[in-house]
Amino acid sequence: MPIAGDSMPLPSNGHSLADAFKKASHGAERTLQPASTKFPKISEEDETTAATVPDTLPKTTPASSANDRRELQDRKNDGGAPGGEGTDPDTQPRLPADGERIMVMKEAWLQLVLNHLKTVELRGAPAPLGSTWLGCNGQVHGIATIASCALVTREDFEATRTQHRHLGDMPRFKKTYALALMDVIPLRTCVDYYRLPASQPWTIFRTGPDTVTTRSAGRKRTLDPVQDSAPAWDAPPQVGAGNLTSPLPLASGTDDMEELSTIAEEHETDKPTEEAND
């Protein structure tokens, strides 16, 4: 060890002290740099393929009714839509017109649909694709688009509980069809419609018993071919902008509500139909 007053020994091999510090700092930089990470290359073809893959959900049980209530309240507190934005006045749909179809739903189911917590409706018969009004208890509460319709197997039913929200067993229809709902827009003010004295899963908008519908009585709807193997939930879960708060109070009994009503034919007259079993 050098004594005070003695000169410091120079680095060996003729290198200066500055060169030694430079070499040491360069070695430290190489030590601190992490090894390069190889990221997978994503081509446009891969993105397209990923975008067209059907939305397959894990086989998990959906949240209980208590969790549904909390989720509804959270959406109301942040303004409804993701990001806390409310409804733009320009996004409000027009009012229903005579003769337009209405998908009649139970109050609790409608509450979930209007708040975008239920994106698949299970029915006992296929339905034409396109727009439909959403009704309950003689009032139209919103509008939606039926994006797809397909037969449902038990495996599909179990794998997509978080979309159709049924907590019990599969509905006891002869055949079960899944209607994928998208572009759901609630109405700010509900619109009353005349309903027959019997419950029915589908009806048409009319203001009274003597209302003349705009569609001729002999006209029949044509259904698109229903694919037995194609899942009905291949439509994107995104929905149109709208006020996600519902005018309906959340009904009790959402733990296990099975829709056991069958799909009735077009109701062009005021003849009552048999009440569907719930």
Asked whether residue 150 is assigned to any structural domain, the reply reads yes
Q: For residue range 206-241, list pLDDT tens digits in order.
A: 877 766 555 544 455 555 555 544 444 444 333 333
Asked whether residue 51 is assigned to any structural domain, the reply reads no
Asked whether residue 80 is assigned to any structural domain, the reply reads yes
Asked whether residue 252 is assigned to any structural domain, the reply reads no
Which residues are within 8 A (CB) of 170 and not within 5 positions of it... i.e. 6 or more apart? 152, 154, 157, 176
The answer to whether 206 and 194 have CB atoms below 8 angstroms apart is: yes
| Per-residue pLDDT at 135 exceeds 80 | yes
Helices of type H across 52-147:
65-77, 107-114
Asked whether residue 269 is assigned to any structural domain, the reply reads no
Q: What is the CATH number of the domain that holds 69?
A: 2.30.130.30
Please state the φ and ψ torsions of residue 135, each to the nearest 5 degrees.
-125, 155
Number of domains within the chain? 1
Which residues are within 8 A (CB) of 91 and not within 5 positions of it... i.e. 6 or more apart? 185, 240, 241, 242
Question: For the residues of 210-235, what is the DSSP string, one character each?
Answer: TPPPSS-TT----PPPPBSSS-GGGS
Calculate mean pLDDT across residues 55-84: 42
Asked whether residue 132 is assigned to any structural domain, the reply reads yes
The answer to whether 212 and 98 have CB atoms below 8 angstroms apart is: yes
The answer to whether 261 and 201 have CB atoms below 8 angstroms apart is: yes
- What's the pTM? 0.47
Q: How confident is the model at residue 52 (pLDDT cuts 50, 70, 90)?
A: very low
Output the pLDDT for position 70: 55
The percentage of the chain sitting over the pLDDT mark of 90, rounded to a whole number, equals 34
Asked whether residue 273 is assigned to any structural domain, the reply reads no
Output the pLDDT for position 223: 54
| Per-residue pLDDT at 159 exceeds 90 | yes
Asked whether residue 33 is assigned to any structural domain, the reply reads no
Instruction: Look up the domain containing 124 and give its range.
Output: 63-85+94-234
Output the pLDDT for position 177: 96
